Chains A and B, each alone.
Chain A
Amino acid sequence: MVYCKKCVYPIISVNLEIGEDGICSSCKTFEEFNSLTSYDWEEKKKKFEIIVEQIKKNNKSNYDCVIPVSGGKDSYYQTHKIISDYKLKPLLVTYHGNNYLPEGDFNRDNMRKVFDADHIVWGPSVEVLKKLNILGFEKMGDMNWHAHCGIFTSPIIIAAKFKIPFLIWGEIPWDISGMYKANDYPEFSARVRHEHGLRGYEWQDFIHHKDIKILEKDMIWAKYPSDEEIVKLGIRGIYIGNYFKWDPNEHSKLMQSLYNWKPLEGNFQRTYRKISNLDDRYESGIHDLLKFIKFGYGRCSDHASKDIRTGYLSRDEAIKLVMKYDHVVSDDLYYWLKYIGKDENYFWKIADKFRDPRTWKIKDGNWIKENVDGSISSYGKVHLTPDEIDLFNKKNK
């Protein structure tokens, strides 16, 4: 496995490019943004202010914009910018997938107390959610498909219903894989939602199953508005990260002091950061363990790579953290299995089907892979049937 020389990302990371110089596209995009001068940021800010003027000029009686929020530090930062700095009246929209941690619950509900903003919290029934967890896990090795879909779909549905032409998103996908440059100003799109958020699956893929019954009526929060409707209302999704410097560690400090935003009280088992993913207990837990099971890297690699770039960690420190955290099987696995009524064997039998042959090999009935420090380790027993092992070895060639 080839790793970026600067951060700890393997080449198998989603949409990553590693150049001839051995540096990944995510590091390069970060560098580009980091080298922007105060003049550049001033220009970017002006561009945002043109949009704000446009919103103010055209709207007298409606919400000025939708802000999709989970209640995380970034949600607070977006809302803070929009209300305190630009005096707009946003409508906050939250997808609720029933995965909140207690701190996340507090932060979400606290938003209406600390900000002057109306708030819609929307999500499927827990009964439907349990079914979606099972189907997502079995189809694509991800119990959280419903969350990606809800987060990327429910805000634009609400925007269309209330005829609100602007959605203010936070960070841009470039931070993860370096897809864009500072002057691209990408906007939210159905394409990015469909392939990066939903991995090519739509709500239609979840109804009419023979054993698990979900109706079209259960998936209204997942139905993306039509192009005609979006264009008629002039709806655009803007990423605030295009216009203002994005530093999650700084944001979280600021939001704690201004609005009593709360980080995790204890520790995550799979990463050292305490400021991310409080809205979803599995996001840093087993959802992310599945990323490790599939591709051999996990949330700690994401956080450590970001923290190398912003100068919070050296690469050596980061490697030590990755070796400590990326493979950990966290306790939320048992919470989840109880939630959906299955046993641990069920989890591993299905999870193992998603091991990527670009990362994994089978040796003596165990899964082995190369690590970021160059060593090779074994990561537990193979749970596949002989036929499935044959198929895996065939793919491996």
Chain B
Amino acid sequence: MKKRRLIPVLLIKNGMVVQSRNFKEFQKIGMVKTSVKRCSEWGSDELILLDISRENKYDLNRDDLNFVNNNSFIDIVLDISKSCFMPITVGGKIYSLKDIENYLVSGADKVAINTSAVLDPKFLDLASKKFGSQCIVNSVDVKLINNKYIVCINNGSEVSSYELKEWLKISEQNGTGEIFINSIDNDGRGNGFDLELINLVESNINIPVVCCGGAGKFEHFLEVAEKTNVDGIAAANFFQHVDQSVFLTKKILYEKNFNFREPRFLKI
């Protein structure tokens, strides 16, 4: 039997973890290293680490801390994977098979591909043939435009020509192993997940789906668990607002008899 997964997402902008609102507004909240350690200690089923830097600059902006100041995203991945006790999906700025390989040898278990896939769906095909579809996640960001879910690229800044249903078919045909669906409209609002969107993805595809976008309280996770069949529930900002957040969320899901692993802390 497959268990459902609870997944913290860390959004990395210029080397630090940020909160995001609608992919447009950001607030720095801290160090990647500590957040990864906390997510591990809270017994997260998996971690999604996304580089959302607009420019190629990675800097903690100071040198007096007891943290290594990594100047590239790959160095960040290498650094955190040494003390990471959960599978990691790494995404952001993946343009070539070489980029995928670099992440995989640096500690990533899976990679999340968005813009490059939409611009050339064959890239997914090549990637899944070379590395196996089990490690190729298609990260799909959508915006509701005129009542239609439209796939967006380049950190949500550009609208693609694909409507969601059409894109999902293409993505699956090209060997994608998993869909990571995120609602740009709900991102950072804390008003709950877009259940209609999640169900739409679920019913149009046969591969695992992880949903994200909108978590603002524990009840929102229960809603998704109850009203959809999604394989994984993910959140970024929410898990940074209270301590032991992933553990506490999982405890609630587990105690309500949803099919998640029993919550436990890891000693690291």
Question: Does A190 lie within 8 Å of B243, measured CB to CB?
Answer: yes
Closest Cβ–Cβ distance, residue B211 to chain A (whole Å): 21
Kindly identify, within residues 181 to 200 of chain A, every residue whose CB is under 8 Å from any CB belonging to chain B.
181, 183-192, 194-196, 199-200
- Contact across chains for A178 and B27 when beta carbons are under 8 A apart: yes
Q: Which residues of A contact B25 (CB under 8 A)?
A: 19
CB contact list, B8-46 vs A, under 8 A? 16, 18-19, 21, 25-31, 34-35, 38, 41-42
- Chain A residue numbers with a CB within 8 Å of B31 are 195, 200
Q: Report the interface size class on chain A.
A: 35 or more
Cβ-based interface call for B248 (8 A):
yes
Closest chain B residue, CB of each to CB of A290: B64
Known: A180-B19, A227-B247. A199 touches B241 (CB 8 A): no
Q: Is A358 a contact of B41 with CB atoms below 8 Å? A: no
Considering the chains assembled together, what is the distance between the CA atoms of A96 and B99 in angstroms? 52
Cross-chain contact of A354 among B27, B61, B64 (Cβ < 8 A): B64
Say yes or no: A195-B67 contact (C-beta < 8 A), given A179-B27, A356-B62. Answer: yes
Residues of A within 8 A of B240 (CB): 186, 191
Contacts of A294 in B (CB 8 A): 62, 64
Q: How far is A46 from B178 in the complex, measured between Cα atoms in Å? A: 42
Contact of B65 with A by CB under 8 A: yes
Cβ-defined contact, B242 with A186, below 8 A? yes
Whether the Cβ atoms of A199 and B247 lie closer than 8 Å is no
Does the CB pair B65–A185 fall under 8 Å? no
Q: B65 contacts which of A177, A199, A205 (Cβ < 8 Å)?
A: A199
Interface stretch (choices A34-42, A60-68, A228-236, A327-335)? A228-236
Give the dominant DSSP class at A's interface.
loop
A395 to B62, CA, bound (A): 12
How far apart are the CA atoms of A185 and B190 in the complex, in Å? 11
Query: For B157, what are the chain A residues with a Cβ–Cβ distance below 8 Å?
Result: none
Question: Which of chain B's residues 216-249 have a Cβ closer than 8 Å to chain A?
Answer: 216, 237, 240-244, 247-248
Whether A231 contacts B237 in the complex (CB less than 8 A), given A17-B28, A190-B38, comes out as no
Given the known interface contacts A14-B62, A199-B66, A236-B242, the answer about A231 and B27 at a Cβ–Cβ threshold of 8 Å is no
Contact residues, A2-37 vs B (CB, 8 A): 11-12, 14-17, 19, 25, 29
Q: Which residue of B lies closest to A199 (CB)?
A: B65
If A140-B65, A189-B242, A200-B65 touch, whether A15 touches B247 (CB-CB below 8 Å) is no
Given contacts A186-B241, A190-B243, A191-B34, contact A140 B27 (CB under 8 A): no
Contacts of A15 in B (CB 8 A): 16, 28-30
Considering only residues 364-393 of chain A, those with a C-beta below 8 Å from chain B are none
| A295 on interface, CB distance cutoff 8 Å | yes
Given known pairs A178-B27, A179-B27, A231-B248, the reply for A200 and B243 (CB within 8 Å) is no
Question: Across the interface, do B62 and A17 meet the contact criterion of CB distance under 8 Å?
Answer: no
Residue of B with least CB distance to A187: B242
B residues near A106, Cβ cutoff 8 Å: none
Q: Is A104 an interface residue (CB 8 A)?
A: no
**A139 CB, nearest partner CB in chain B, Å:** 8
- A184 and B237 contact, Cβ closer than 8 Å, known pairs A191-B34, A354-B64: yes
A109–B243 alpha-carbon span in the complex (Å): 32
Q: Which A residues touch B63, using CB under 8 A? A: 354, 356, 395
Q: How far is the CB of B213 from chain A (nearest CB, A)?
A: 16
Q: Does B265 contact A (CB under 8 A)?
A: yes
A150 within 8 Å of B by Cβ? no
Q: In whole Å, how far is B68's beta carbon from the nearest beta carbon of chain A?
A: 10
The total of chain B residues at the interface (CB under 8 A) is 34
CB distance from B125 to the nearest CB of A (A): 38
Identify which of B19, B38, B61, B67 contacts A200 (C-beta below 8 A): B67
- Bound together, the chains give a CA A196 to CA B67 distance in angstroms of 12
Which listed residue, A181, A227, A236, touches B265 by the CB 8 Å rule? A227
Contact, CB under 8 Å: B62 / A189: no
Min CB–CB distance B239 → chain A (angstroms): 10
In the complex, the chain A residue whose C-beta lies closest to that of B68 is A200
Q: How far is the CA of A201 from the CA of B63 in the complex (A)?
A: 13
Q: Assuming the A-B contacts A140-B64, A191-B35, A194-B34, are A179 and B28 also in contact, with contact meaning beta carbons closer than 8 angstroms in the complex?
A: yes
The docked-state distance in angstroms from the alpha carbon of A192 to that of B35 is: 10
Interface flag for A141 (CB, 8 Å): yes
Q: Which residue of B lies closest to A178 (CB)?
A: B27
Q: Closest Cβ of chain B: how far from A298's Cβ, in Å? A: 15
**In the complex, what distance in Å separates the CA atom of A179 from the CA atom of B26?**
9
A227 with B41, Cβ < 8 A, contacts A184-B190, A184-B241, A205-B66 known = yes
A295 touches B28 (CB 8 A): no
Measured between alpha carbons, how far is A228 from B66 in the docked complex, in Å? Answer: 26
Q: Given that A184-B190, A184-B237, A231-B248 are known contacts, is A191 also in contact with B61, CB under 8 Å in the complex? A: no
With a CB–CB cut-off of 8 A, which chain B residues contact A11?
61
CB distance from A25 to the nearest CB of B (A): 6
A356 contacts across to B, CB distance below 8 A:
62-64
A227–B28 Cα distance when bound, in Å, is 25
Q: Closest B-chain residue to A357, C-beta based?
A: B63
- A-facing residues in B59-115 (Cβ within 8 Å): 61-67
Interface digits, A149-178 against B, CB 8 Å rule (1 contact, 0 not)? Answer: 000000000000000000000000000011
* A-B interface, 3 closest residue pairs, ranked by CB to CB distance from nearest: A200-B66, A189-B243, A15-B28
7 A-B pairs in the complex with CB atoms less than 8 angstroms apart: A16-B28, A17-B27, A25-B28, A180-B19, A187-B242, A237-B243, A294-B64
Residues on B lying within 8 angstroms of A by beta carbon are: 16, 18-19, 21, 25-31, 34-35, 38, 41-42, 61-67, 190, 216, 237, 240-244, 247-248, 265
- For the complex with contacts A183-B190, A199-B64, A228-B265, 8 further pairs of A-B residues with Cβ separation under 8 Å are A15-B28, A140-B66, A181-B27, A191-B38, A195-B31, A199-B66, A354-B64, A356-B62
